[in-house]
Each structure stands twice: as C-alpha cells, then as structure tokens.
Amino acid sequence: MTLQATNVVKTFTLNSLGYGRKKLKDIVTHNPGKTVLLNVLAFVTGYEVVTNKKDNSKSSLKFVGSFEIVDLESSEEVVAASAFLPGPAEMFLKGQLDGLGEAGGSIRQALQITVETDDREDAITGYKFGMKGFVDKKSASDPFADLRSVFPALPAPEKKAKK
C-alpha cells in the first residue's frame, strides 16, 4: 500500500494555496494564454451565500460537500469539506445544484480552474478565471444526456491547414 500525504482543511480558498492577487498577476504576466492552476474533484451537496466581511455589498458562494483539489504548480493536494471557487466554477456549480430543484440532491464534478490575462479596459485585476468541466456522458449528473439523441450526428470538424 502506498500512502500519500494530503493537507486537510475545513474550507478551501485560492488564498489557502497562496494564490493571492500578486501571484495571479505574476502568472499571467509571465505565461501568455491560459494557465491551468487547479484540478478539482467535487462532490457537492449544497451552498450558502457568504457576505464579504470587508464589503457588505459583495458576496460569494461557499460550496459544501467533499472536495479534492490539486495545485498543478506545486502538486500539493488539499481535501476540504467546503470550498470557495472562482467565478466561472461558482456559476457552473450553482447552476447544477439549482437544476436539481426542490428535491435537492448532490452533484459530482471534475473541473480545471484556469487563469489568463484580462485585457478589458475596465479590468480591475488584469486577470480572469476560466473553467473546464469534465462530465461522464453516461452519468446521471449530465443534465443533457437524454437530449443529445435529438440532434443528428455532426460531422467531424475540418482540420485547418497550418501556416
């Protein structure tokens, strides 16, 4: 049996892995394009709205369940019972949970969290987060599984010639 050390925390945040504004800005400055920061395995049972302690007009969602997060820069692994995740992941997971309706339930999801330069004129931080979700197409957690058969099979995309 091989054992691996894992950090266990009550609540995961990007800051708990050292991803503050300065470090994220450094990443996008030195790495053009998207940089994959984290792999996240999530078994999510719910969420709560948490008001920002410094600015009452802002809030975030704290997801509860079971999370396994791997920092791809350091290979550090964190296990948590709750997690604050960046915007795109927050919106995606909230949508999944809200889609369960009043009956409730849980969702399982594998995500990659990315960061890239934000060139918008009104960008405050100079970076923005992205997310890629990985879904087992045969899984009950895929809300579109029963709808896919409605569309005819699409041809494979044409490969573009390299210049």
Q: Render 5-70 in DSSP notation, one character per residue.
A: --EEEEEE-GGGGT--HHHHHHHHHHS-S-EEEEEEEEEEEEEEEEE-SS-TT-EEEEEEEEEEEE
Q: What residue ranges do the domains of the chain occupy?
A: 7-150
pLDDT (tens digit, 0 to 9) for every residue of the chain, 163 residues total?
A: 665 667 778 899 999 899 999 999 999 999 888 999 999 999 999 999 999 888 888 899 999 999 999 999 998 899 999 999 998 999 999 998 998 888 888 888 899 999 998 888 877 888 999 999 886 666 655 666 666 666 666 666 676 666 5
Structure tokens at 33: 């394009």
The pTM of this model reads: 0.77
